[in-house]
Amino acid sequence: MKYLFPLMIVLILFLSGCSGNSAGQAAIAKTRAAQLTAAAATIGSATSPAIGMTPDQVLKLWSYPEEIRQDNISGEQWLYPNNQSVFFENGTVSKVQN
């Protein structure tokens, strides 16, 4: 009986922490779904990578880059001939430079 109260407190804290994260995760999932929808709409007729595309989609369009630069702050940069670059953040294209 003397362990019931501390056990209840721990259980309440655990459950409240679990429910707080689901709203944030749902918002992230919704944003990601919107990015993928936008990318899917443009990939069919695209000749150039678009914001929101995945690395696989870029590879299908432009093949492998000549060089890949890693940056812990802004993500990854793929370098192509003719000074073309594709920038990735969080697994999707964030910028295309022609």
pLDDT band at 18 (very low <50, low <70, confident <90, very high): low
| C-beta separation of 64 from 57 below 8 A | no
Average pLDDT, the chain: 78
Render 53-89 in DSSP notation, one character per residue: --HHHHHHHH-S-SEEEEETTTEEEEEETTTEEEEEE
Q: pTM value?
A: 0.54
> By residue range, what is the domain housing residue 85?
4-97
Exposed/middle/buried for residue 46 (C-beta within 10 Å: 0-12, 13-18, 19+): middle
Q: Is the pLDDT of residue 5 over 80?
A: no
Number of domains in the chain: 1
What CATH number does the domain containing 92 carry?
A: 3.30.1450
Per-residue pLDDT, 1: 47
